[in-house]
Structure 1
Amino acid sequence: MSNTQLPPLDGNPQQPITSDNDLQDSYVDLHKPNSSFKNRNAYLNHELQIMQPKRWRPNLPFRDYRFEYEDTIPAMAATIGKVVMVGAIAATFAGPLGLSDAFVLENVRYELLIVAFFVILFSGFLLPTANLAGTHGPLIPLIPIVVAAGGHPMAFGLLIGAFGLLLAISKGGSLLANLTSKGVCGGLLLYLGFIGTISQVKNLFAWAEGIGMAHIAFVVILLTIILYAVLENFQKRWLAVPLSCLLGGGVAFAMGAPFAFETAPGLPNMNPMYWWGEDTGWMLGLPTIESFVVVLPFAVLAVAMWSPDFLGHQVFQKISYPKRTERVLMDIDDTMTSASIRQVAGSLLGGANFASSWGTYIVPAAIAKRPIPAGAVLTGVFCLIAGIWGYPMDLAIWEPVMCVALIVGVFIPLLEAGMEMTREGKTTQSAAIVVFASALVNPAFGWSITLVLDNLGLIGSKERSANLTKMSRWIIPVVTFVILTGVMAIVGMLPGIPALLPNFRH
């Protein structure tokens, strides 16, 4: 890293961090109280710059990082997102397998306890630059196909974990991220942000129409837009999630929308053999060799979809954090490692979750200019409270709360980050192709084909392409695209083309 002098951050009276030599002292020695800075933003920037995270060694609160009230916001958003996403996966499995709503509820509570342990252990303690292991949302549409093909959830989860570990150990995730240009990444963020926003608006209107009060959705979204604009104006956007949840839930309830707390306090069954029994839990028993063969292509696809997902989360930090904070940025390979280990353990225990980088955590955390570990510990605590207490789960999945939280906490920031990345240079061509190709199949296909076209220099910056090695220019991108598209063809995900293997036709 260079030793170029940087100007003080937002009027910081302390000497700015200008080189790694300035970090010979410990975090405790370099820490300054908030009162030493002219504003809160300068204090948060300084905290990011002086942190010295350690991999596979203990990182302790107050010795290596501190808790700030900003950490509660991403932790709250993450808990809401976890309840929603795990509930969606469990419910998607439950329908075709004939499992009851009680199964879904109990498994969500079980997963909240499982994830609490792993996010505190890894992201809060051993791997402070690994983003929390969340839920693989883009995988949800594939689950009915997996079930129809006879896929076993334990076999599916174990293979995802195994392939994820292989990719992490080989540094394949960070390699693919480094080969992705700003245009490709920006286009991916734009597509995910736009599609996500539209889907949540539709979900909120569908709910409001279902209770015969469609006007509630309009009022809630209109007030949320105004609130978000006001927070942007006063540079308090990190407060968007709690205030929007309070606004959405409060307005909907005041306008007559029905709501009641129904999930009483309690604990789920903690015995893995209960979940993998033939007459209890999943009612599937343990997987066979054939079970692993059936889910093999789906597991390959799931892990292949990790790289663009992880890349988008890392880039959001890079856009939001100040200079000289490379040490605290999300490490893609470490995130893959923690997500893979969490996936294997969760599947063995009987959980319904399929892991990925936790977007509903990292996006609000980046906006709030907070590093990963402190919020990770709070997220674990919030998940424990929600799982045991029960009542917060009802509030988290109530549409006026859930939809606005996802819109302002994840999807609108993704749109903003995508637009920021495509402002300069020859990035708009690549961004447009990503959106086009993603709309044709899915974001993983859009990312992989545009990676090939962009690195070959057919679109985007020809200067960038000319500076790439032969391996980076076309060998790795082409191999990635061929493998990913081949797996999609096998399982029948290419529009208008039947699955190449009869077992996956649906």
Structure 2
Amino acid sequence: MPETPYQQAHRPAAKFNSRREYLEHELEVMSPKRWGINLPLRDYRFEWEDLVPAVAATIGKIVMVSATVSVFAASLGLAPEFVVENVRFEMLIAALLFAFLVSGLFNPRANLAGTHGPMIPMIPILVAAGGHPLAFGIMVGVFGLILSLSGGGSKLVGMAGDGVKGGLLIYLGSVGLLSQINAFKGWSTTIEMPELSFVVLFLIVVLYAWLARLKMRWLAIPLCSAVASIIALAMGAPFEFTTEAGLPNMSPGYWWGEDSGWQLGLPGLSHFVAVLPFAVLAVAMWSPDFIGHRVFQELNYPKKAQDVLMNIDDTMAVASTRQIVGTTLGGGNLASSWGTYMIPASIAKRPIPAGANLTALLCVLCAVFGAPMDLAMWEPVLRVALIVGVFLPLLEAGMEMIKDTQTAQGAGIVIFASALVNPVFGWSLTMLLDNSGLLGKNERSDSLSTAERWTIPIITFAVCGGAMASVGLLPGIPALF
């Protein structure tokens, strides 16, 4: 069998002056197939740096799916046992059907399908409005497929200026950073050890700065999480393994039965009508996440590594399909681009496929054995992993994009508007102002077509604003439905 272009261009790590040069060369020579078969050694290689995004993604998946399913369970009056079993089920779906088969084998240009964190606060409102999880999941998947197949996702990403992107990253990073610090402080106070959070975070700041100086930030998640857990245990923080080994019920009939699983039965037409505005909002909120993840890759990968950057439309198609399939099988996850995978992978300068396969393996092991889920959800490990692996890098990347006064103005407006309502409002409004020439670089606005300057931004802002107004997300304005 003849060698592939990647096999011909690959050179051993020993041929390079540094590990960084080798990893960047790998990114430049890789050319993974979209919707074809990609195999190790033939199309990519496993490197030990791939463990970094895999560990971070697994921790993030356990945490985010647990948060999503827990809110559903609380709103529907389901027992805690339901949460554990459903999270395990979702871990297997995410690992085997999508991380391995899609991102690891058939399309490494599509980021893994993660969890839609910003929609979690909407779940109680959705349930109170008469929404059904299965109807909601199907509607989100359908709207997402429409956006991805029409090329709308990549179009929106290309229309956002540097100021809009940078401001969005700064807002998401700073808000997330503060939320994790406050949550860690709150937990430390609850266990009557308020000094614990200060000691752990102080040492993590020093360790992270040292890793940045050595240009080894890709080690931040495993190393900082390990240090945090060791310090917390040494100081006497409580921890125990409680989740036993086992497998969840794999039958959709069980999950969507009237007396088992969700205890809701199958949805009717009224349920689909009730979830309509929430589904529109969920898909509208995808774009800021997808933009942030793609931009983060671009900032960390070499300029010639265009063939390994995530494809926005493919990622939306995968997230949409994952939403429909996962919900139909019985899972409670809300899909989006997997940030706790993409951001660490970008820092580690690794492409999607190898880490996706390792993520699938770790997710399966955690779901089957149970005990790793307890460790990943322990507060010191959870908070530190999210701080150094997601929110601090987002903040740094956003600041790197602010290069002059005009982009700073755009960033300031998107941060202001996001703080006023939420990142979707801030992104859509600032893109309209930026593209129309009311702020930012006038020469950039002049280079855009009429549709890019006015039509698409106005429609985007109207759709996002209408969806938010319909469910009561605009301050001071009651929900329309």
Q: TM-score, normalised by structure 2?
A: 0.98
Distance 1:341 1:499 in 2: 29
For the pair 1:376 / 2:346, whether they are aligned, the reply is no
Superposed CA offset, 1:58-87 (max 9, x none): 001111000000000000000000000000
In structure 1, distance between residues paired with 2:174 and 2:19: 31
Q: Is contact 2:4–2:43 with CA below 8 Å preserved after alignment?
A: no
Partner of residue 20, structure 1 = none
Q: Distance in 1 between matches of 2:280 and 2:100?
A: 28
What's the secondary structure of 2:406's corresponding residue? coil
- Matches of 2:373 and 2:65 in 1, distance apart? 12
In the TM superposition, 1:344-423 aligns within 5 A as: 344-423=324-403
Code of the residue aligned with 2:294 in structure 1: it is: Q
**SS of the counterpart of 2:445?**
helix
Task: Tell me what 2:43 maps to.
Answer: 64
> 1:388 & 1:251 partners in 2: Cα distance?
28
The alignment partner of 1:458 has SS state of coil
TM-score using structure 1 length: 0.94
- Structure 1 unaligned blocks of 5 or more: 1-23, 502-506
Residue in 2 that maps onto 1:126: 106
Q: Are the equivalent residues in 1 in contact too, given 2:6–2:30 (CA < 8 A)?
A: yes
| Aligned twin of 2:276 | 296
Cα deviation code 1:308-349 (max 9, x no counterpart): 110110000000001211110011000001111111100100
Show the counterpart of 1:262. Answer: 242
Structure 1 partner of 2:129: 149
Q: Which residue of 2 aligns with 1:208?
A: 188
Q: Which amino acid aligns with 1:60?
A: L
Write the distance in 1 (CA, Å) between the matches of 2:150 and 2:234: 54
121, 131, 138: which is aligned to 2:118?
A: 138
Equivalence for 2:82: 103
- Alignment gaps of 5+ in structure 2: none
Distance 1:354 1:230 in 2: 36
2:471 pairs with 443, 467, 491, which one?
491
Indicate if the aligned counterparts of 2:30 and 2:43 stay in contact, CA closer than 8 A.
yes
Corresponding pairs, count: 478
Q: Does 1:94 align with 2:73?
A: yes
Q: How far off is 1:426 after superposition?
A: 1.6
| Aligned residue in 1 for 2:147 | 167
1:229-251 CA-to-partner distances (Å, cap 9, x unmatched) read 00001111000000111011110
Q: 1:34 aligns with which of 4, 10, 13?
A: 13
Deviations 1:177-216 (A, max 9, x none): 0000010000000000000000000110111111000100
Q: Distance in 2 between matches of 1:477 and 1:423?
A: 24
Report the Cα distance in structure 1 between the residues aligned to 2:288 and 2:159, rounded to whole angstroms: 11
Q: Which amino acid aligns with 1:160?
A: V
1:56 Cα offset (Å): 0.9
Structure 2 Cα separation of the partners of residues 115 and 180 of structure 1: 30
Report deviation, 1:424. Answer: 3.4
Kindly indicate whether residue 215 of structure 2 is the aligned counterpart of residue 235 of structure 1. yes
Supply the distance in 2 between the matched residues of 1:271 and 1:96 (Cα, whole angstroms).
23
Residue 100 of structure 1 deviates from its aligned partner by 1.0
Asked if 1:75 corresponds to 2:54, the answer is yes
Report deviation, 1:425.
5.6
Distance in 1 (alpha carbons) for counterparts of 2:156 and 2:416: 21
**C-alpha separation in 2, matches of 1:319 and 1:103:** 41
CA-CA distance at 1:423 after TM superposition: 2.1
For 1:89 and 1:409, the matched residues in 2 are separated by: 20
- Is 1:462 the counterpart of 2:442? The answer is yes
Give the partner amino acid of 2:357: V
**Within 1, Cα distance between the matches of 2:37 and 2:100?**
11
Specify the alignment match of 2:205 in structure 1: 225
Q: CA deviation at 1:119?
A: 1.1
Distance in 2 of aligned mates of 1:40 and 1:483? 46
Q: Measure, in 2, the Cα distance between the counterparts of 1:140 and 1:229.
A: 32
CA RMSD of aligned residues (A): 0.9
Report sequence identity in percent. 60
For residues 262-291 of structure 1, what are the alpha-carbon distances to aligned partners after superposition, in whole Å with 9 as ceiling and x for unaligned? 111100111111110111111100111111
| Cross-structure match for 1:277 | 257
Report the secondary structure of 1:277's partner residue: coil
Whole-angstrom CA distance in 1 between matches of 2:303 and 2:434 = 27
Contact preservation (8 Å) 2:138, 2:324 = yes
Q: Helix, strand or coil: the match of 1:59?
A: coil
Runs of 4+ with deviation above 6 angstroms: none
- Secondary structure of the corresponding residue to residue 361 of structure 1: helix
